[in-house]
Protein backbone atom coordinates (compact mmCIF):
# COMPACT_ATOMS: atom_id res chain seq x y z
CA UNK A 1 0.00 0.00 0.00
CA UNK A 2 2.80 2.42 0.90
CA UNK A 3 4.69 1.97 -2.36
CA UNK A 4 1.55 2.03 -4.50
CA UNK A 5 0.54 5.37 -2.92
CA UNK A 6 3.97 6.86 -3.59
CA UNK A 7 3.98 5.49 -7.14
CA UNK A 8 0.53 6.94 -7.78
CA UNK A 9 1.67 10.32 -6.51
CA UNK A 10 4.75 10.33 -8.76
CA UNK A 11 2.75 9.24 -11.85
CA UNK A 12 0.07 11.86 -11.18
CA UNK A 13 2.58 14.63 -10.75
CA UNK A 14 4.47 13.55 -13.86
CA UNK A 15 1.27 13.70 -15.92
CA UNK A 16 0.72 17.24 -14.68
CA UNK A 17 4.31 18.22 -15.49
CA UNK A 18 5.36 18.46 -11.85
CA UNK A 19 8.73 16.79 -11.86
CA UNK A 20 10.24 14.92 -8.92
CA UNK A 21 13.54 16.80 -9.25
CA UNK A 22 14.27 19.84 -7.12
CA UNK A 23 11.71 22.59 -7.64
CA UNK A 24 12.11 26.02 -6.08
CA UNK A 25 10.26 29.30 -6.02
CA UNK A 26 12.36 30.74 -8.87
CA UNK A 27 10.97 28.11 -11.26
CA UNK A 28 7.42 29.33 -10.61
CA UNK A 29 5.84 31.79 -13.04
CA UNK A 30 4.09 34.69 -11.23
CA UNK A 31 3.64 32.77 -7.99
CA UNK A 32 1.64 33.87 -4.99
CA UNK A 33 2.58 32.82 -1.47
CA UNK A 34 1.07 32.77 2.00
CA UNK A 35 1.83 31.42 5.46
CA UNK A 36 -0.21 28.41 6.56
CA UNK A 37 -0.66 26.91 10.03
CA UNK A 38 -0.02 23.28 10.89
CA UNK A 39 -3.69 22.22 10.47
CA UNK A 40 -3.70 23.88 7.02
CA UNK A 41 -0.40 22.16 6.19
CA UNK A 42 -1.89 18.78 7.12
CA UNK A 43 -5.01 19.49 5.07
CA UNK A 44 -2.85 20.44 2.09
CA UNK A 45 -1.02 17.10 2.24
CA UNK A 46 -4.28 15.20 2.52
CA UNK A 47 -5.92 16.99 -0.41
CA UNK A 48 -3.38 16.48 -3.20
CA UNK A 49 -0.73 13.95 -4.28
CA UNK A 50 2.70 15.14 -3.18
CA UNK A 51 6.42 14.53 -3.48
CA UNK A 52 8.93 15.10 -0.69
CA UNK A 53 11.95 16.59 -2.45
CA UNK A 54 15.61 16.14 -1.62
CA UNK A 55 15.83 19.62 -0.09
CA UNK A 56 12.92 18.92 2.27
CA UNK A 57 10.31 20.97 0.42
CA UNK A 58 7.09 19.33 -0.76
CA UNK A 59 5.62 19.62 -4.26
CA UNK A 60 1.89 19.15 -4.73
CA UNK A 61 -0.72 20.09 -7.31
CA UNK A 62 -4.30 19.57 -8.41
CA UNK A 63 -4.06 19.88 -12.20
CA UNK A 64 -5.11 23.53 -12.14
CA UNK A 65 -2.02 24.78 -10.36
CA UNK A 66 1.22 23.59 -8.84
CA UNK A 67 2.13 24.14 -5.25
CA UNK A 68 5.34 24.20 -3.26
CA UNK A 69 5.33 23.86 0.53
CA UNK A 70 8.37 25.11 2.43
CA UNK A 71 8.44 23.39 5.80
CA UNK A 72 8.50 25.42 9.03
CA UNK A 73 11.90 26.10 10.59
CA UNK A 74 11.05 23.85 13.55
CA UNK A 75 10.11 20.91 11.34
CA UNK A 76 13.15 21.38 9.10
CA UNK A 77 15.53 21.37 12.06
CA UNK A 78 14.07 18.21 13.57
CA UNK A 79 13.91 16.53 10.19
CA UNK A 80 17.66 17.08 9.76
CA UNK A 81 18.31 15.51 13.14
CA UNK A 82 15.93 12.57 12.72
CA UNK A 83 16.31 11.97 8.95
CA UNK A 84 12.59 12.00 8.29
CA UNK A 85 11.47 10.61 4.95
CA UNK A 86 8.36 9.77 2.94
CA UNK A 87 6.95 7.45 5.62
CA UNK A 88 6.98 10.21 8.21
CA UNK A 89 5.33 12.76 5.91
CA UNK A 90 2.65 10.18 5.07
CA UNK A 91 1.85 9.74 8.75
CA UNK A 92 1.02 13.45 9.04
CA UNK A 93 -2.08 13.01 6.88
CA UNK A 94 -3.72 10.67 9.40
CA UNK A 95 -6.39 12.78 11.17
CA UNK A 96 -6.18 12.89 14.93
CA UNK A 97 -8.37 14.49 17.53
CA UNK A 98 -6.05 17.19 18.87
CA UNK A 99 -6.79 19.63 21.66
CA UNK A 100 -5.18 22.97 20.80
CA UNK A 101 -4.29 23.56 24.44
CA UNK A 102 -2.25 20.33 24.54
CA UNK A 103 0.16 21.40 21.79
CA UNK A 104 2.59 23.93 23.29
CA UNK A 105 6.26 24.62 22.74
CA UNK A 106 8.78 26.41 24.97
CA UNK A 107 10.55 29.35 23.31
CA UNK A 108 13.40 31.58 24.50
CA UNK A 109 14.45 34.78 22.71
CA UNK A 110 17.58 36.32 24.13
CA UNK A 111 19.94 39.26 23.72
CA UNK A 112 22.90 40.17 25.94
CA UNK A 113 20.75 41.99 28.46
CA UNK A 114 17.15 40.98 27.82
CA UNK A 115 15.39 37.65 27.35
CA UNK A 116 11.81 36.60 26.69
CA UNK A 117 10.57 33.14 27.65
CA UNK A 118 7.16 31.86 26.65
CA UNK A 119 4.83 29.00 25.83
CA UNK A 120 3.55 29.17 22.26
CA UNK A 121 0.89 27.19 20.41
CA UNK A 122 1.98 25.11 17.42
CA UNK A 123 -1.54 25.11 15.99
CA UNK A 124 -2.39 28.78 16.55
CA UNK A 125 0.81 30.90 16.27
CA UNK A 126 -0.88 34.02 17.67
CA UNK A 127 -1.76 32.25 20.93
CA UNK A 128 0.72 32.78 23.78
CA UNK A 129 -0.07 30.90 26.99
CA UNK A 130 2.62 32.24 29.29
CA UNK A 131 5.55 34.64 29.09
CA UNK A 132 8.33 36.07 31.25
CA UNK A 133 10.83 38.85 30.62
CA UNK A 134 14.36 38.90 32.09
CA UNK A 135 16.68 41.90 32.17
CA UNK A 136 20.23 42.45 33.35
CA UNK A 137 23.22 44.79 33.11
CA UNK A 138 26.06 43.19 31.15
CA UNK A 139 27.40 45.88 28.80
CA UNK A 140 29.54 48.81 29.84
CA UNK A 141 27.87 51.99 28.65
CA UNK A 142 30.24 54.90 29.25
CA UNK A 143 33.72 54.67 27.73
CA UNK A 144 33.19 51.06 26.70
CA UNK A 145 33.03 49.40 23.31
CA UNK A 146 29.50 48.12 23.76
CA UNK A 147 30.68 44.55 24.36
CA UNK A 148 29.03 42.16 26.83
CA UNK A 149 31.33 41.53 29.77
CA UNK A 150 32.02 37.88 28.93
CA UNK A 151 33.07 38.80 25.38
CA UNK A 152 35.23 41.66 26.66
CA UNK A 153 36.85 39.17 29.09
CA UNK A 154 37.61 36.81 26.22
CA UNK A 155 39.16 39.52 24.03
CA UNK A 156 41.05 41.55 26.62
CA UNK A 157 41.29 39.31 29.64
CA UNK A 158 39.36 39.60 32.89
CA UNK A 159 39.43 43.01 34.46
CA UNK A 160 39.06 43.32 38.22
CA UNK A 161 37.25 46.65 38.36
CA UNK A 162 34.09 46.74 40.42
CA UNK A 163 32.00 47.41 37.32
CA UNK A 164 33.43 44.41 35.46
CA UNK A 165 32.90 42.12 38.44
CA UNK A 166 29.31 43.35 38.82
CA UNK A 167 28.51 42.74 35.14
CA UNK A 168 30.07 39.28 35.41
CA UNK A 169 27.92 38.33 38.41
CA UNK A 170 24.76 39.75 36.83
CA UNK A 171 25.38 37.86 33.58
CA UNK A 172 25.66 34.59 35.51
CA UNK A 173 22.50 35.37 37.50
CA UNK A 174 20.70 36.25 34.24
CA UNK A 175 21.26 32.76 32.82
CA UNK A 176 20.41 31.10 36.13
CA UNK A 177 17.03 32.87 36.27
CA UNK A 178 16.11 31.61 32.78
CA UNK A 179 17.24 28.10 33.67
CA UNK A 180 15.28 28.14 36.95
CA UNK A 181 12.07 29.21 35.22
CA UNK A 182 12.44 26.44 32.63
CA UNK A 183 12.61 23.84 35.39
CA UNK A 184 9.28 24.77 36.98
CA UNK A 185 5.68 24.65 35.74
CA UNK A 186 4.33 25.20 33.19
CA UNK A 187 7.66 24.76 31.35
CA UNK A 188 8.73 21.66 33.24
CA UNK A 189 5.69 19.79 31.96
CA UNK A 190 6.50 20.72 28.34
CA UNK A 191 10.22 19.92 28.57
CA UNK A 192 9.98 16.58 30.32
CA UNK A 193 11.22 13.43 28.68
CA UNK A 194 7.98 11.78 27.55
CA UNK A 195 8.00 8.96 25.05
CA UNK A 196 5.17 7.48 23.06
CA UNK A 197 2.35 9.26 24.86
CA UNK A 198 1.14 11.24 21.87
CA UNK A 199 -0.50 9.52 18.91
CA UNK A 200 0.54 12.40 16.66
CA UNK A 201 4.20 11.81 15.84
CA UNK A 202 5.01 15.28 14.57
CA UNK A 203 3.34 17.22 17.35
CA UNK A 204 4.96 14.92 19.88
CA UNK A 205 8.38 15.52 18.32
CA UNK A 206 7.92 19.29 18.13
CA UNK A 207 6.63 19.83 21.67
CA UNK A 208 8.16 17.23 23.96
CA UNK A 209 11.74 17.68 25.07
CA UNK A 210 12.50 20.58 22.70
CA UNK A 211 13.49 24.16 23.54
CA UNK A 212 13.40 26.65 20.66
CA UNK A 213 15.91 29.48 20.96
CA UNK A 214 16.76 32.66 19.13
CA UNK A 215 19.48 35.06 20.09
CA UNK A 216 22.90 34.96 21.69
CA UNK A 217 24.39 31.47 21.39
CA UNK A 218 26.91 32.03 24.20
CA UNK A 219 24.02 32.56 26.64
CA UNK A 220 22.24 29.40 25.53
CA UNK A 221 25.47 27.47 25.80
CA UNK A 222 25.44 28.15 29.55
CA UNK A 223 21.98 26.65 30.08
CA UNK A 224 22.32 23.33 31.91
CA UNK A 225 19.27 21.59 30.49
CA UNK A 226 20.07 17.91 30.18
CA UNK A 227 18.14 15.67 27.76
CA UNK A 228 16.52 18.68 26.13
CA UNK A 229 16.99 19.17 22.40
CA UNK A 230 17.82 22.80 21.67
CA UNK A 231 16.81 24.17 18.26
CA UNK A 232 18.39 27.48 17.30
CA UNK A 233 16.66 29.90 14.95
CA UNK A 234 18.43 32.52 12.87
CA UNK A 235 17.57 36.15 12.22
CA UNK A 236 17.06 39.40 14.10
CA UNK A 237 15.68 39.34 17.62
CA UNK A 238 14.53 41.76 20.29
CA UNK A 239 15.27 44.77 18.11
CA UNK A 240 13.25 47.98 18.32
CA UNK A 241 10.73 48.51 15.52
CA UNK A 242 10.59 51.86 13.71
CA UNK A 243 7.22 53.58 14.11
CA UNK A 244 5.49 55.76 11.50
CA UNK A 245 6.69 58.90 13.30
CA UNK A 246 10.31 57.68 13.03
CA UNK A 247 10.71 56.77 16.69
CA UNK A 248 11.91 53.38 17.88
CA UNK A 249 9.74 51.17 20.03
CA UNK A 250 10.81 47.98 21.74
CA UNK A 251 8.57 45.03 21.00
CA UNK A 252 6.65 43.58 23.92
CA UNK A 253 7.29 40.03 25.10
CA UNK A 254 4.10 38.82 23.45
CA UNK A 255 4.92 40.53 20.15
CA UNK A 256 8.37 38.91 20.08
CA UNK A 257 6.92 35.49 20.87
CA UNK A 258 4.22 35.76 18.20
CA UNK A 259 6.85 36.73 15.63
CA UNK A 260 9.06 33.80 16.66
CA UNK A 261 6.12 31.40 16.73
CA UNK A 262 5.09 32.24 13.17
CA UNK A 263 8.70 31.86 12.03
CA UNK A 264 9.05 28.46 13.69
CA UNK A 265 5.67 26.81 13.27
CA UNK A 266 4.06 28.01 10.03
CA UNK A 267 4.80 26.79 6.51
CA UNK A 268 5.07 28.85 3.34
CA UNK A 269 2.72 27.77 0.55
CA UNK A 270 3.70 28.98 -2.94
CA UNK A 271 1.02 28.60 -5.63
CA UNK A 272 1.35 28.99 -9.39
CA UNK A 273 -1.92 29.09 -11.29
CA UNK A 274 -2.01 27.60 -14.79
CA UNK A 275 -2.64 30.17 -17.49
CA UNK A 276 -6.05 29.91 -19.13
CA UNK A 277 -5.86 28.95 -22.77
Q: Which domains does the chain have, with CATH numbers?
A: 2-97+266-273 (no CATH), 100-139+176-265 (3.30.420.40)
- For 216-226, letters b (16+ CB in 10 Å) and e give beebbeebebe
Q: How far, in Å, CA of 178 to CA of 60, rounded?
A: 42
The pLDDT, as a whole number, for residue 19 is: 47
Once rounded to an integer, what is the mean pLDDT over residues 149-164? 67
Q: How far, in Å, CA of 262 to CA of 120, rounded?
A: 10
The pLDDT, as a whole number, for residue 215 is: 81
Task: Give the tens place of pLDDT for each residue, 96-112.
Answer: 556 666 788 999 998 88
Cβ-proximal residues to 111 (8 Å cutoff; 6+ apart), any chain: 215, 216, 237, 238
- In this predicted structure, the answer to whether residue 6 has a pLDDT above a threshold of 50 is no
Task: Give the tens place of pLDDT for each residue, 188-230.
Answer: 888 875 554 445 667 777 887 888 888 877 777 777 777 788 8
- In this predicted structure, the answer to whether residue 275 has a pLDDT above a threshold of 70 is no
Highest mean pLDDT among 113-117, 135-139, 247-251: 113-117
**Sign of the CA dihedral 256, 261, 263, 266?**
negative
Q: In what helix (H) or strand (E) does residue 136 lie, and over which residues does it extend?
A: none
The pLDDT, as a whole number, for residue 9 is: 40
- What is the greatest pairwise CA distance in the chain? 77
- In this predicted structure, the answer to whether residue 133 has a pLDDT above a threshold of 60 is yes
Strand partners, 200: none
Q: How far, in Å, CA of 265 to CA of 108, rounded?
A: 14
Once rounded to an integer, what is the mean pLDDT over residues 232-255? 76
The pLDDT, as a whole number, for residue 196 is: 47
Strand partners, 68: 59, 270
Q: How far, in Å, CA of 111 to CA of 215, rounded?
A: 6
- Read off the DSSP letter of residue 57: -
Least confident of 11-15, 40-44, 86-90, 232-236: 11-15
The pLDDT, as a whole number, for residue 128 is: 94
Amino acid sequence: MRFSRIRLSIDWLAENQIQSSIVNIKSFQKPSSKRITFPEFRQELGSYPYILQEDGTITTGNGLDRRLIILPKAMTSLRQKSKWGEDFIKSLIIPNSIDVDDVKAAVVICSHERAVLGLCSLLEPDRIYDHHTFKTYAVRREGGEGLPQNIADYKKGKRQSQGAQLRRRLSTAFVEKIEKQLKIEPYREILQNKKGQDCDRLLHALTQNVLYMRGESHIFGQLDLKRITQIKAEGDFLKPTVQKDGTNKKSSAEEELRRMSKYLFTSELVIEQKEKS
